[in-house]
A and B are shown apart, each in its own frame.
Chain A
Amino acid sequence: MELTKSEWETLFPFHLALNEQLAIVSVGPGLRKLLPQLTTGELFGERFALERPSTDINSIDVLKSLANTVIIIRVRDEPFSLRGQAVIKANGVTLAVSPWISSPEQLPHLGLQLRDFALHDPTPELLFMMQGTAKSLQESRELSYELHQRSTQLQLAMHEARTASLAKSQFLANVSHELRTPMTAILGYAEMLLDELQDSHQREYVAVIHNQGRRLLAIMDDVLDLSRIESGKLTVQFEYFTVNELLRDTEKYFRAEVGIKPLTFRIQCHANIPSRVHTHRASVMQILKHLISNAIKFTPNGEIVMTLEAIDSKQGRMLQIAVTDTGIGIDLEKRHDLFQAFMQADDSFTRTYGGAGLGLAISRRLARMLGGDIEVTSELNSGSTFSLTVDCITAQVESLPIERGEESDSSGGNTRFNYPNLPYSIYVAEDADINRTLIKKLLELAGATATFGCTGRAAVQDITAEQQSFDLIIMDIQMPEMDGCTATRLIREAGINTPIIALTANGQEEDRVACHNAGANCFLTKPIDREVLYGAIADQIEQYKELQATVAH
C-alpha cells in the first residue's frame, strides 16, 4: 500500500524523497521549516552526507542497500543530524527521518515545536529526558558546590574553635601562673612569720592570713581544674603506686587541715586491698582531699573514718574508698545537686561554711575520668558517707594491715616548724625578686647556701662555668631570655648531672611532662610547700649520692 503525499507529510514530517539520480524531489514540512533554503532538484550530496554507516553515497543503489540499517545523515553547516531509515520506492528512495538533536539548548535555534513532530515520533520525549538529565546534573553541581562551601566553612569554624581552645588553654596557664606567683610570697612569708613571731596574738593574726591564703589557693585551683576538665584539657596519667603512700598522704592532709577541731581520723583497710594500684595518684589524692576537707568542714566533733575495700561491680573489680563522718548530714532533697558545679547542699551552707561548691563537682568528674564514680549516703544530723570507686586494681599482690588509726593533732597549724639540716650548696634560678628572697630565707633556715640567677641563660652560664659545683639546682620555668626547660636541657647537654628540681607556678600536667623531658629530676609547684621542698632536696641529693657511689664502685 502506497502512502499519499499528505500521509507522508503527517507520518514523516521530516522526510526527504530522492529520485534515481539522487536529486531531491520532495521535502517534508518539518524539514522544510528546518532548512528553508532547501529546494527540489538539489543533489543529496550537496547538502547531506551519510554519517552512519560511513559510506559514500555515489548512487541510489547504495542507499537502497541500506534499507535495513539505521542511518544517520549529517546536514552540512547545520548543528543537527537526521536519523531514520531508507524506504525503497519504485522511482527512488524516501528517507523517513527525524532531526537528531544532541542538546535541548539547540531547540530555540531550530525553531521547532511539538506539533512539528509526528505523534509517534519519540524525539520530544528524548528531549525531555535530556533536559531532565541536564537539570539533575546542574543541581548535582550546585549541591556539590554548596557541600564544598559548607565543608570549607566547617573547616574554618573548626580551626577557629581550635585556636580559641588554644587561647583558652594559654589563658588558663597564664592565670594559673600569675595567681600562684603572688600566692607563693603570701603563704611563704606567712609561714616564716609564724615561726619568728613571739607574740601569740600576732601569731594568731598571721595564722589567719596563712589559712585564708591556702583557702584562696584551693578555690583558685578548683576553678582552674573545673575549667580544664570541662575543656578536656585535664589529662590523667596512670601509674603504679602503693596504697600505703596514699594512706600516708591522706593522714598528713587530715593533720594539716583539721586545726583545733576535736576530730579523730581512722583508716580501715579490708584484707582484700592490694598493696599496689594502677591509677592517677594525683587525681585520687585530689578527690580524697576534697572528701576529707568536706568531712572536717561539716563535722563539728566526732570521727572521720576512711574505709578501703575491693568490691565487685559491673565494670569488674574496683577499689572503693569511703569517707564517713559523724557530721551534720545532708537532707535527701538536697543531695541531687551536690555534684553540680557551684552548688552546695544549701545556700546557707555557703554563708556558714564558705567554699565555692566546686569540690564534689570536680571530684565526680575526676572519678569518672578514672573509670569510677562517687556516691553519697547520708542521714541528717548523723553524718554522711561519700564512696569513691576507682578502676585501679590490676593484680592482687599482698594485703595491708586491717586497720590504721590516727588521732588528730589538736594543736593544728600553729605548731612551730622543725627545720631540717640541709648543709648543701644550692643554685636557684628564679626571676621574681620576692620569690628569690623567700627561697633564700627558706634555704638559709635549713642551713643551705644559695646562689641565684635571674634567667635561664644566667643559670646555664653559672652552672656550666668551671670551678662551679652545686649539690642541687632549683629551676623556675617561666623566666625571661631563656625558660627553665631550655636551661635544664642545656645543662644536661653540657654533661652536668646535678639533681634539678623544677619549681614552677605552671602547675599543669603538660608542664610536668615538659620538665621531665628536659631532664629535671623532680617537679614541684608554687606556692612553695616548705616541707615538700625540703623533703625533695633531701631525697634528690641522697639519690644522687647513692647513684654516684654505685658508679664509683
Chain B
Amino acid sequence: MFGLINRAFERFILRDYGAESWNAIRHAANIEASTFISMDVYDDEMSFRLFEAAAQHLAYSRDDLLERFGESWVDVGASAGFGPVMRLGGSNLTDFILNLDNLHTRLGLTFSALRPPSFRVELTSSADHSPCIRLHYRSDRQGLTSFVVGVLRGLGKHFNEPVDVRIEQATQGRQASFLVQPLSRHE
C-alpha cells in the first residue's frame, strides 16, 4: 500500500487516541520506520500488522477499528494534502459515489503500484421508496470491507449528508455490496 494509508492511520491514532497509543501500536507492530512517505509503496503486510496491533491495543475488533479509520479517512487521509484533487470527485455525496470508480481508475493509471479497488453504482430506492445507492465493491486486497463502510459514512459527514451503510453481501472479504441510505432526505 502507499505510505499515504499508513500516514493516515498514524494521524488517525494520534488524533483520536494520542501519541502514547501510537508508540505502543508501532512498537507492537514492530515498525522501525519513524515516518512514512506518502507516495512510497510499502508492503501490505506492514499496514495489516499496524491494524492488528491497534485493534488489540485499543480493544476493538478489527472490523470495528477499520470502520472507525475509514470514517476518519476523508479528514486524515484524502484531505491531508490531496484536498484539491478530492474536490474533483464531486460536490455532493451522490456525485462523489458516482465518480468513485472513475476516480480510482484514474488514480490507478497515474500511480501504477496503487492497485485501487473497483466500484459499480446502482441508483435505487429503499423499502420506503427513498432514493439510495447500492455500491458494488471489488478489491484484490482482503479484509478492507469494513474500511469502505467507514469511508462511506465519513463521506456522508463530509458532504453534510449523513448516511446509513449496510453490507448486503460480502464474499471472502474482497467483494461486497453496500446499501447507502440517507439518514435525512437530501434535496
How far apart are A107's CB and chain B's nearest CB, in angstroms?
4
Interface string of A95-108 (1 = CB under 8 A from B): 00000000011011
Q: Contact flags (1/0) for B97-121 with A, using CB distance below 8 Å?
A: 0110011001101110000000000
Complex Cα–Cα for A93 and B104 (A): 35
The reply to whether B82 and A131 contact each other, CB–CB distance below 8 Å, is: yes
Binds A, one of B44-52, B66-74, B87-95, B134-142: B87-95
11 residue pairs from A and B, CB less than 8 Å apart: A104-B85, A107-B88, A113-B88, A114-B88, A115-B90, A119-B102, A124-B106, A129-B110, A131-B81, A134-B81, A143-B35
A residues with a Cβ closer than 8 A to B are 104-105, 107-108, 112-115, 119, 122, 124-125, 127-129, 131-132, 134-136, 138-139, 143
Q: Which residues of A contact B91 (CB under 8 A)?
A: 113
**A525 to B151, alpha carbons, bound, how many Å?**
80
In chain B, residues 144-163, which have Cβ atoms closer than 8 Å to a Cβ of chain A?
A: none
Contacts of A134 in B (CB 8 A): 81
Q: Which residues of A contact B81 (CB under 8 A)?
A: 131, 134-135, 138
* Chain B residues with CB below 8 A from A136, complex form: 37-39
**CB of A106 to closest CB in B, whole Å:** 8
Interface of A is mostly: helix
Q: Are B84 and A114 in contact (CB under 8 A)?
A: no
Report the separation of the CA atoms of residues A124 and B99 in the bound assembly, to the nearest whole angstrom. Answer: 12
Which of B87, B99, B103: most chain A Cβ within 10 A? B87
Q: How far is the CA of A207 from the CA of B98 in the complex (A)?
A: 103
Most chain A Cβ neighbours within 10 Å, of B37, B84, B90: B84
A107-B88, A122-B109, A136-B37 given. 19 additional CB < 8 A pairs?
A105-B84, A113-B88, A113-B89, A113-B91, A113-B99, A114-B103, A115-B95, A115-B98, A115-B102, A125-B106, A125-B109, A128-B111, A129-B110, A132-B38, A135-B39, A135-B82, A139-B37, A139-B38, A143-B35
Cβ contact within 8 Å between B87 and A107: yes
The distance in angstroms between the C-alpha atoms of A108 and B81, with both chains bound, is 14
Q: Which residues of B contact A113 (CB under 8 A)?
A: 87-91, 95, 99
CB–CB A127/B88 < 8 A: yes
CA distance A139 to B85 in the complex (A): 18
CB atoms of A114 and B37 under 8 A apart: no
Q: Which residues of B contact A (CB under 8 A)?
A: 35, 37-39, 81-82, 84-85, 87-91, 95, 98-99, 102-103, 106-107, 109-111
Are B84's CB and A132's CB within 8 A?
no
Among residues of B, the one whose C-beta sits closest to the C-beta of A129 is B110
A128 touching B102, Cβ below 8 Å: no
CB distance from A69 to the nearest CB of B (A): 27
**Residues in B neighbouring A127, C-beta threshold 8 A:** 84-85, 88
Chain A hits for B107, CB < 8 A = 128
Q: Is the CB of A107 within 8 A of B84?
A: yes
CA distance A108 to B38 in the complex (A): 23
Distance from B8 Cβ to chain A, minimum over Cβ atoms (Å)? 12
Residues of A within 8 A of B39 (CB): 132, 135-136
CA distance A115 to B103 in the complex (A): 10
With contact pairs A114-B103, A136-B39, A139-B38 given, residues A131 and B90 touching in the complex (Cβ less than 8 Å): no
Name the contact of A107 in the complex, choosing from B85, B90, B98, B102 (C-beta under 8 A): B85
Chain A residues with CB under 8 Å of B85's CB are 104, 107, 127-128, 131
Name A142's closest neighbour in chain B (CB-CB).
Answer: B35
Q: How far is the CB of A286 from chain B (nearest CB, A)?
A: 46
Cα A108 to Cα B87 with chains together (Å): 7
Determine how close the nearest CB of chain B comes to the CB of A131; give it in whole angstroms: 5
A117 to chain B, nearest CB (A): 9
Contacts of B106 in A (CB 8 A): 114, 124-125, 128
Cβ of A153 to closest chain B Cβ, rounded Å: 14
Q: Nearest Cβ distance between residue A330 and chain B, in whole angstroms?
A: 45
